[in-house]
Structures are given as C-alpha cells and as structure tokens.
Structure 1
Amino acid sequence: MENSKTIDVLNDLLHITNDRIKGFERVEGKVWESYSDLKGEYDKMISQSKIMKNEIINLITERGGNADENTTSLAGNLHRTWIDIKNSLPVTNNDQETLENVIFGEKHAIEAYDNALKSGDLCSESSEVIANQLKQLRVSYNQFSNIERYKSKED
C-alpha cells in the first residue's frame, strides 16, 4: 500500500467534505420555515461534517501528507454555482429544490466514499474511519431523502 495513494484519496474525500460544509452554509434560514422538522438533523450534519473534516486531516498528517484543508472540488464548485443561478430565478418551491440539492450532494458524497473504500488505496486505519463516516453519510441521506414526508407534517 503506497502512503501517497492513501493521502491522495484522503485529500479527495477532504475536498468532498469541504464541499458539504460550503453547500450547507448556503441553505438559507427561510427553508426551515417550511421544513422545521429537518432543522435539527441539518445542524447535526454540519457538526458531523466538521468532525469528519478534522478526522480526515488527522489521517493525512499522521501519514506525513499535507491536507488541502480548505480546498473544494471543481464539481462541487460548479454545483454550488448552478444552485446560485437557479436560486436567483423566481421559482415556486425554492425551499424544496434547496433540500433536493442537499440530497444530491449527499448522494455524491456517498458515491465518492464508496469508491474510495473499493479502491484499495486506503490503509486499514483510514478505511475504518472512512467506513464510519460513510455510515453517517447514509444516515443523513436517508433523513433528507423523503422531503415530502416532512412537508406533510407541517400541513
């Protein structure tokens, strides 16, 4: 197992985690007027993301690598730009679209984590940490994947 491959994969996951944090920061407070039941889970996702970020940074530095602490991915940047453009247009259910974008981002993160674990490029300690983080991502994805259920509670 090459240490440099582990560091590269971990930095890629760090970019994904930074994408999550940046994306979460863009969800406006008005969304929670329509989806108040999700607010606590959303706050939990933000806290988890910051913990995940620190865990990945620690794994990278323990292996002698340099963590790209504040770097995001090109795909994440493009996605956030697209969301900004869509949000600037008059849309009838902007709040639901915003949460659908959270779900899209979580799905992308899950795929990236799955690929990282399947790559065989992670050392055993890194694999264990990343597998635990993947479980957290799946839980948050499941929380947000049925938006209409939460909306119907509000009606």
Structure 2
Amino acid sequence: METEKTVSVLNDLLQITNDRIAGFEKVEGKVWEKYPEIKDEYDRMISQSKMMKNELINLITEKNGTPHDSPSVAGSLHRTWIDIKNSFTIGTIEESTLSNVVFGEKAAMEAYQNALNSGDLCPKSFDLVTEQLNSLKLSYNQFRKIEEYKNN
C-alpha cells in the first residue's frame, strides 16, 4: 500500500468533510424558526463533522502528509447552485434546504464508500473511514426522517 495514495484518498475525504461543514453552516438560521425541534440533532451533526475533520487531519499528518484543509471547488459550486436554486424556489427555502442537505449527505456517503472500495487505504485508515461512513449513514437517515417530518 502506497502511503501517497492513502494520503490522497484521505485528503479527498477531508475536503468532502469540509464541504459538509460549509453546507451545514449555510443552513444556520434558515430552518430553525420553522423547525426548532430539530436544532439539537443538527448541532450534533455539525460537531460530528468537525470531529471527523480532526480525525482525518490527524491521520494524514501521522502519515507525513499535508492536509488539504479547505472545501472542494465542486462543493463550493454546489453551494452556489443551491443559493441560486433557492432564489427561484416555489416552496419554502427551509424545505428546499433540508432536501439539499439530504442530497449532500448521500453524496458524502458515496464518496466514503468509493474510498473504501478503492483499495488505497491502509488498515488503520480503512477502519477510520468505515467508522466515519457509519456516522454519515446515521446522519443521512436522521435528515431523511427530518425531511419526511417536514412533509407532514
């Protein structure tokens, strides 16, 4: 297993995690007036993302790599697209925002699964990415429940 490949995959996941954090921060204030009962769960997901970010940075550094600690260009473009889409939304921005969070969580899960399938992770990295993917799945399922809740 080449350390460079492992660091590259971990850096990709770090950027995705930064995209998640940036996306979550965009939701702040848009949803809570209408859905105050989900704020605690949302805050937990932000904390989880920040913890995942630190774990990835630590593992990259441990492998003598340089963490690419910024959101991805694709993530930035996606958030800009969401802003444009929300400006033309017929429904409420809150509902559209929650749908976008579900979409983003699904994309993050797919990226994590692709990282696991790549064969480019050392055993320790594989274990961490598996653990983080499981957390993403819980987050995704929670947001799907929130999205279903908002439709009631």
* Fold match (TM-score > 0.5): yes
Q: Does 1:84 align with 2:80?
A: no
Matched AA of 1:55: E
Q: Corresponding residue for 1:137?
A: 136
Q: Corresponding residue for 1:94?
A: 93
Identity %: 61
In 2, Cα distance between the equivalents of 1:140 and 1:61?
A: 27
Pairs within 5 Å for 1:19-98: 19-69=19-69, 71-89=70-88, 91-98=90-97
Q: What displacement does 1:95 show?
A: 0.5
In 2, Cα distance between the equivalents of 1:149 and 1:123?
A: 40
Q: What per-residue deviation string (whole Å, max 9, x for no partner) do you get for residues 59-102 of structure 1?
A: 00000000011x21222111100011122336331101001111
The count of aligned residue pairs is: 151
In 2, Cα distance between the equivalents of 1:108 and 1:79?
A: 11
Q: What displacement does 1:150 show?
A: 4.6
Could you say if the C-alpha distance between residues 138 and 19 of structure 1 is closer, same or farther in structure 2, counting changes exceeding 3 Å?
same
TM-score by length of 2: 0.94
Could you say if the C-alpha distance between residues 29 and 151 of structure 1 is closer, same or farther in structure 2, counting changes exceeding 3 Å?
farther
Which consecutive unaligned segments of at least 5 residues does structure 1 have?
Answer: none
Matched AA of 1:127: F
Q: More deviation in 13-22 or 81-90? A: 81-90
Which consecutive unaligned segments of at least 5 residues does structure 2 have?
Answer: none
Q: Corresponding residue for 1:110?
A: 109
In 1, Cα distance between the equivalents of 2:85 and 2:97?
A: 10
Q: What displacement does 1:126 show?
A: 0.6
Root mean square deviation, CA, Å: 1.3
